[in-house]
């Protein structure tokens, strides 16, 4: 890891040289996924919605990153753009040194298949296949071998052993969500992107899944980017990117649930054109929220995109 937490890791020198070129193997470095001035508009003309307003963020390799923010702040849009599932209106998305926004469709499809795992909010399981077939399908489509030991580990960790032969339609929402996570983890992709992967789980099952995800990041080198509304889920991650109206409002290193909750509460109270700034923002990052009421003056959208120095760890030693 280079540099303190919360600081942008710059794009590798010459990475733009990969534009439209061959897919390059994942290289050593701290940057997992990076967006640069990412804009996403839905529609055009007066009715257009700007879902991402020039967003520059990065999720580091071998780390567990959470994307949080109020409903409609652009979390899913960001995740879809980062994973190459949706094309931004402008700006760039780098997966390691590869610029996804410049790849021809065929190469992008191959990259998504070989290097990315995605857990959809709606699970997106195939009803005509068994649970096991659903989990192994991406590897089979890619013509890759299933690692039996890793399959066993994932299935046990997500408690799916008893339902492997069943059809997903027979399962509860929480079970389907765990199947979707197993399917994303099995190929050991460069990055697993997950959109609210604990939304349908009870507290105990959610905690077990999050602990497994954290282990797969810290002990097995997986990189995970997860959208969540839940401060308790965010506590399992290394870093939170907090969105507000398609821009970066704050980052929280080593998040704890109380700090995340406070930051979300402040965001909820913010005026439509306001930004989390100054003392509060620094406090939220450092974990030492001073409490009491405060005035949080609006800052420019550009200021919200600035790199934020990380404060001391908010996680109890």
Ligand X SMILES: Nc1ncnc2c1ncn2[C@@H]1O[C@H](COP(=O)(O)OP(=O)(O)OP(=O)(O)O)[C@@H](O)[C@H]1O
To the nearest 10°, report the CA torsion of 125, 127, 130, 134. -20
Residue found by looking up tokens 């003392």 in the block: 279
Q: Does 42 bind ligand X (CB under 6 A)?
A: yes
User: Could you tell me which stretch among 51-59, 71-79, 146-154, 248-256 binds Mg ion (CB under 5 A)?
Assistant: 71-79
Cα–Cα distances (Å) from 53 to 56, 60, 287, 303, in that order, read: 9, 22, 27, 13
x/- mask, Mg ion, residues 74-103, rule CB under 5 A, reads: --x---------------------------
In the complex, residue closest to Mg ion by CB: 76
Q: Does 35 bind ligand X (CB under 6 A)?
A: no
DSSP H helices, the chain, are 75-82, 105-115, 131-141, 148-157, 173-185, 203-218, 231-234, 257-269, 278-286, 301-304
Interface with ligand X (CB under 6 A), residue total 11
Residue placing its CB nearer to ligand X in the complex, 41 or 159: 41
Q: Does 228 bind ligand X (CB under 6 A)?
A: no
Task: For residue 280, report the phi and psi dihedrals to the nearest 5 degrees.
Answer: -65, -45
User: What are the residues whose beta carbons fall under 8 Å from the beta carbon of 308, sequence distance 6 or more?
Assistant: 6, 7, 250, 251, 281, 282, 285
x/- mask, Mg ion, residues 237-256, rule CB under 5 A, reads: --------------------
Which positions from 47 through 66 interact with ligand X, judged by CB under 6 A?
Answer: 49, 51
Q: Which does 101 bind (CB under 5 to 8 A by kind): ligand X, Mg ion, none?
A: none
Rounded to whole angstroms, how far apart are CA atoms 88 and 100? Answer: 10
Residue placing its CB nearer to Mg ion in the complex, 93 or 243: 243
Rounded to whole angstroms, how far apart are CA atoms 6 and 14? Answer: 23
Q: Which does 170 bind (CB under 5 to 8 A by kind): ligand X, Mg ion, none?
A: none
Q: Which does 4 bind (CB under 5 to 8 A by kind): Mg ion, ligand X, none?
A: none
Cα–Cα distances (Å) from 89 to 9, 80, 86, 93, 267, in that order, read: 23, 13, 10, 12, 26
Give me the least distance between CB of 243 and ligand X, in Å please: 7
Which positions from 63 through 102 interact with ligand X, judged by CB under 6 A?
Answer: 69, 71-77
Rounded to whole angstroms, how far apart are CA atoms 139 and 123? Answer: 18
Give me the least distance between CB of 41 and ligand X, in Å please: 9
**Helix (H) and strand (E) counts in the chain:** 10, 11
Give me the least distance between CB of 155 and ligand X, in Å please: 29
Q: Are strands 239-244 and 247-253 parallel, antiparallel or unpaired?
A: antiparallel
Q: Which does 51 bind (CB under 5 to 8 A by kind): ligand X, Mg ion, none?
A: ligand X
Give me the least distance between CB of 194 and Mg ion, in Å please: 12
Q: What is the contact surface with ligand X in residues (CB under 6 A)?
A: 42, 49, 51, 69, 71-77
Q: What is the contact surface with Mg ion in residues (CB under 5 A)?
A: 76
């Amino acid at each position: 890891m280079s540099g303190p937490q919360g600081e942008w890791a710059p794009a590798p020198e010459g990475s733009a040289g990969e534009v439209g070129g061959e897919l390059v193997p994942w290289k050593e470095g701290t940057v997992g996924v990076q967006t640069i001035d990412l804009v996403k508009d839905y529609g055009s003309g007066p009715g257009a919605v700007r879902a991402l307003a020039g967003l520059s963020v990065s999720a580091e390799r071998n780390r567990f990153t959470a994307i949080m923010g109020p409903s409609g702040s652009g979390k899913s849009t960001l995740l879809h753009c980062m994973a190459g599932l949706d094309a931004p209106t402008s700006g760039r998305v780098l997966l390691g040194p590869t610029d996804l926004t410049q790849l021809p469709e065929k190469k992008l499809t191959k990259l998504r298949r070989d290097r990315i795992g995605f857990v959809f909010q709606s699970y997106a399981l195939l009803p005509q296949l068994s649970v096991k077939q659903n989990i192994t399908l991406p590897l089979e489509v890619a013509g890759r071998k299933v690692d039996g030991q890793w399959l066993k580990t994932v299935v046990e960790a997500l408690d799916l052993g008893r339902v492997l032969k069943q059809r997903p339609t027979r399962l509860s929402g929480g079970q389907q969500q765990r199947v979707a996570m197993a399917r994303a983890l099995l190929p050991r992709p460069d990055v697993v992107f997950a959109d609210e992967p604990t939304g349908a789980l009870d507290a105990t099952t959610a905690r077990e899944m999050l602990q497994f995800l954290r282990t797969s990041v810290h002990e097995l080198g997986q990189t995970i980017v997860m959208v969540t509304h839940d401060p308790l889920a965010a506590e399992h991650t290394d870093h939170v990117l907090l969105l507000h109206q398609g821009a970066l409002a704050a980052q929280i290193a080593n998040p704890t649930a109380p700090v995340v909750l406070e930051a979300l509460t402040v965001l909820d109270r913010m005026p439509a054109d306001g930004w989390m700034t100054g003392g509060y923002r620094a406090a939220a990052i450092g974990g030492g929220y001073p409490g009491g009421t405060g005035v949080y003056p609006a800052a420019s959208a550009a200021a919200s995109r600035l790199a934020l120095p990380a404060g001391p760890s908010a996680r109890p030693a």
